[in-house]
Structure 1
């Protein structure tokens, strides 16, 4: 069984070396509320080993397109100064999984409809003349209305 480290607290340099992030990036994550380091008597930041997981989670979530504000919102439910338990991670993962499923649904819709009318108002495709005659989608608001979940009156979808 592996022995726990003698000093469970990490310096910002230790954390940077372990995660592959620049020190400036770690400070940025801290400013966004993803990390909450303790300060030692000299005022230096000290991070828990559990912060490696927080940063790893944030790095992956960013690759999936989540903003730092969204990520901070998800990790806000984790304990600040102790390692999260399985139950802690399960609790926040439920909300994150719902966000991922919503993105999957949006990406699937984009994949399925991108070659047809998306309700953007360009009227450049022959199919748009049928689905979005005279830019009828504009009545529903700005943007690609059909990709945003609105339906064409004539498409029946």
Structure 2
């Protein structure tokens, strides 16, 4: 199947509001796969407008470029993604967002209490985390990361 004429990087920049340098950076990071026409000019699929829009939104939600690359790798190469392709990626994206929302809500609700960080600087911390028991569960703010002081449960990796 022959490639369409594609669109120029300037067109993508105009449509998405991204600088040409940002689009080139995303290409270098493996988020876009343009090709070169007979004149050596970089060409993109029109569907890359949607990919770039997804990248911009995902970054606003705090996803790293490697995480975004993981989402985009599930989309088909060589053809424009269908609505079904985008629905599949949105399910995975939604699961990750739900996990982040849960963590943010927990942080908001417990910010003034013990977060299991091991600082033991407040009298309250000595009650909720005696002898820094949270440290046995791993590094970081264990209770905000999903560990429970009551049950000893630890969060699943990647959750």
Q: What does the per-residue CA deviation read over 1:29-65, in whole Å, with 9 as the maximum and x for residues that have no partner?
A: 1122211112101222101111011000100100100
Consecutive aligned runs of 4 or more in structure 1 exceeding 3 Å deviation: none
Aligned to 2:74: 77
Contact 2:5/2:43, CA 8 A, preserved across alignment: no
Note if contact 2:6-2:45 (Cα within 8 Å) is conserved in structure 1: yes
TM-score (norm 1): 0.87
* Map of 2:95 onto structure 1: 98
Q: Give the superposition deviation at 1:153.
A: 4.0
Secondary structure of the equivalent of 2:44? Answer: strand
Structure 2 residue matching 1:10: 3-state secondary structure:
coil
Partner of 2:147: 150
2:21 equivalent in structure 1: 24
1:86 lines up with 2:83 in the alignment = yes
Structure 2: runs of 5 or more not aligned: 153-159
**CA deviation string 1:126-154 (max 9, x = no partner):** 32111011212112221111111111149
Residue 30 of structure 1: SS of its match in structure 2?
helix
- 2 CA distance for matches of 1:72 and 1:66? 10
Q: Distance in 2 between matches of 1:87 and 1:78?
A: 10
2:40 corresponding residue in structure 1: 43
Give CA-to-partner distance per residue, 1:86-113, whole Å, 9 cap, x none: 1111111111111111111111111111
Local SS of the residue matching 1:9: coil
The runs of 5 or more residues in structure 1 that have no matched partner are 1-6
Alpha-carbon spacing, 1:18–1:8, altered in 2? closer, same or farther (3 Å): farther
User: Match of 1:3?
Assistant: none
| Local SS of the residue matching 2:43 | strand
Name the structure 1 match of 2:56: 59
Q: TM-score, normalised to structure 2's length?
A: 0.86
